[in-house]
Structure 1
Amino acid sequence: MASIEELSDDALLVMYANGDRDAARVLTLRLTPRVFNHALRLLGDRAEAEDVAQEAMLRLWRIAPDWQQDQAKVTTWLYRVVANLCTDRLRKARPVALDAVEEPVDEASGPVEKMQDRIRAQALQRALSDLPERQRQVVVLRNIEGLSNPEIAEIMEISVEAVESLNARGRRRLAASLSDKREELGYVDAH
Structure 2
Amino acid sequence: MADRRLEILRGAGFGRRSRLDEAGMFPMPAHARGNIRLEQPSDDELVAAVASGDEAACRALMDRHLTRILVLARRMLGNQADAEEVAQEVFLRVWTHADRWEPGQARFGTWLHRVATNLCLDRLRKNRPTDDIDEMPDLASGDPGPHRQLEQRELAARVDAALQALPERQRAAIVLSHYQGLGNLETADILGVTVEAVESLLSRARRQLRLSLATEKDDLLRSDKVSAS
> TM-score when scaled to structure 2?
0.74
- Equivalence for 1:125: 160
In percent, how many aligned pairs have the same letter? 42
Q: 188, 197, 205: which is aligned to 1:153?
A: 188
Contact 2:152 2:223 (C-alpha < 8 Å) held by counterparts: no
Task: Confirm or deny that 1:60 pairs with 2:75.
Answer: no
Cα distance in 2 for residues equivalent to 1:97 and 1:125 = 10
Higher RCO structure, 1 or 2 (CA under 8 Å, sep 6+): 1
Contact 2:139 2:152 (C-alpha < 8 Å) held by counterparts: no
Give the root-mean-square deviation of aligned CA atoms: 2.3
Task: Confirm or deny that 1:28 pairs with 2:56.
Answer: no
- Equivalence for 2:212: 177
Cα distance in 2 for residues equivalent to 1:113 and 1:189 = 13
Task: Confirm or deny that 1:91 pairs with 2:125.
Answer: yes
Contact 2:77 2:124 (C-alpha < 8 Å) held by counterparts: yes
- Tell me which moved more, 51-60 or 93-102: 93-102
- Equivalence for 2:110: 76
Cα distance in 1 for residues equivalent to 2:223 and 2:190 = 37
Q: Secondary structure at the match of 2:133?
A: helix
Q: Secondary structure at the match of 1:180?
A: helix
- Tell me which moved more, 174-183 or 100-109: 100-109
- Equivalence for 2:26: none
Task: Mark the runs of 5 or more structure 1 residues left unpaired by the alignment.
Answer: none
- Tell me which moved more, 157-166 or 93-102: 93-102
Cα distance in 1 for residues equivalent to 2:198 and 2:124 = 21
- Equivalence for 2:19: none
Q: Aligned partner of 2:181: which letter?
A: G
Task: Confirm or deny that 1:3 pairs with 2:39.
Answer: yes
- Tell me which moved more, 36-45 or 69-78: 69-78
Cα distance in 1 for residues equivalent to 2:129 and 2:55 = 39
Cα distance in 2 for residues equivalent to 1:35 and 1:156 = 15
- Equivalence for 1:165: 200
